[in-house]
Amino acid sequence: MQAFDYVKAKTLEEASALLAEHNGDARPFAGATDLLIRIERGFLHPAKMVDIKNLPGFRAINALDNDWLRIGAAVTMNEVVIHRDVESRYPLLAEACQSVASYQLRNRATIGGNICNASPAADSAPALICYGAEAIIHGPQGERRVTVEDFFQGVGQTALERGELLTAIEIPPPPDGAVGRFLKLGRTTVGDISVMNVAVLGWPDENAASGASWRIVLGSVAPTPIRAPQAEKLLAGDTSPAGIEAAARAAADTARPIDDIRASAAYRTDMVRVYTRRGVEHVLAELNY
């Protein structure tokens, strides 16, 4: 592997300074499951790795006073999956994180690295977007926050500016009675990167004609994870079998996939229809209203 320096940053200030000083040649380093592969393949040539795993709070999951849940950027996928509050309040996120790669990899892969890497196939993203999660960013100008939906700007592109770091992800309380389902299509049953995925969240809502409101987020079918607002609207109106099929078609219409080594665009689009329908049917069967 090409040579680089490695530093374990101890404070946020030190990390920001190192990242700024190296003018883009220094990279935040978390679980390294994306980074080292891209270096090995010659796509990246960083001069310095700034390990952010030991920064205060980066490995912690905390319930906040406002009832939000804060997940440190360097919390691993396995740590997310087994956390009591995630399991009880945000099971859709647990399901998504559990679907990443293998057990070994999930001991290293962090949730922050997953969204900072900004792959359209980042499996944690659709669930985070369903829950309305926000990315907490630290930079030379202090702290700011953006929704995870807006954090993704394009393939491999995030809202982070030079010298900025993701410190945590914060998730608002889920809607009362919410039920979620994450469905992922890979080339193998378990453990592969998503050919496409869909996260569905439904919750009882007496203002909705169908009795429930919905969030549908699609992964790996556009440059970023995307919501399917038309499908959400149709489901709020009608969740009869015909209504679900119409919503599933609307979700497929929202998808803008490409042909690549994992699947053709046409196949992905049709699988959006099928997986959205299955996800909605699953949620509907579990919703109580």
Partner 1 sequence: MKHDINLTVNGELYNLTVESHHTLLTILREQLVLTSVKNGCSEGECGACTVLFDGKPVNSCLVLGAEADGHEIVTAEGLTINGQLAPIQQTMIDLGGTQCGYCTPGIVMASFALLERNPNPTEQEIREGLVGNLCRCTGYTRIVDAVREAARLQRTDMTL
Ligand X SMILES: Cc1cc2nc3c(=O)[nH]c(=O)nc-3n(C[C@H](O)[C@H](O)[C@H](O)COP(=O)(O)OP(=O)(O)OC[C@H]3O[C@@H](n4cnc5c(N)ncnc54)[C@H](O)[C@@H]3O)c2cc1C
**Taking CB under 6 A as the rule, does residue 34 contact ligand X?**
yes
Which x/- pattern over 165-194 shows residues binding ligand X (rule: CB under 6 A)?
xx--------------------------x-
Q: At what angle do helices 265-286 and 241-254 cross, to 10 degrees?
A: 140
Query: How far does Cα 99 stand from its chain's mean position?
Result: 12
Order of strands across the sheet that contains 5-8: 5-8, 48-51, 26-29
Nearest CA-CA partner of 109 in 134, 74, 158, 81:
74
d(CA 178, CA 288): 9
**CB within 8 Å of 162: residues ≥ 6 apart:** 19, 20, 23, 24
Euclidean distance between CA atoms 252 and 254, whole angstroms:
5
Interacting partner of 261 out of ligand X, partner 1, none (Cβ under 5 to 8 A depending on kind): none
Picked from partner 1, ligand X, none, the partner binding residue 276 (CB below 5 to 8 A depending on kind) is none
Query: Which residue from 18, 31, 69, 279 is in contact with ligand X, where contact means CB under 6 A?
Result: 31
By the rule CB under 8 A, 87 interacts with partner 1: no
| Shortest Å, Cβ 282 to partner 1 | 19
Q: Which of residues 178-237 bind partner 1 (CB under 8 A)?
A: 190-191
Token representation of residue 126: 């659709």
Nearest distance from C-beta of residue 102 to partner 1, angstroms: 2
- Interaction pattern, residues 111-150, with ligand X; x per rule: CB under 6 A: -xxx-xx---xxx---------------------------
3 makes contact with partner 1 (CB under 8 A): yes
Site string for partner 1, 98-137 (x = CB under 8 A): ---xxxxx-xx-----------------------------
Among candidate residues 144, 137, 124, 146, the one with its CA nearest the CA of residue 225: 124
- Options 26, 30, 32, 118; binder of partner 1; rule CB under 8 A: 32
Contact between residue 94 and residue 54 where contact means Cβ atoms under 8 Å apart: no
Residue 73 near which of partner 1, ligand X, none (CB within 5-8 Å, type-dependent): ligand X
Contact present, 60 and 69 (Cβ < 8 Å): no
* Total interface residues for ligand X by CB under 6 A: 30
**Interface positions with partner 1 (CB under 8 A):** 1-6, 31-33, 36-37, 40, 49, 51, 78, 101-105, 107-108, 190-191
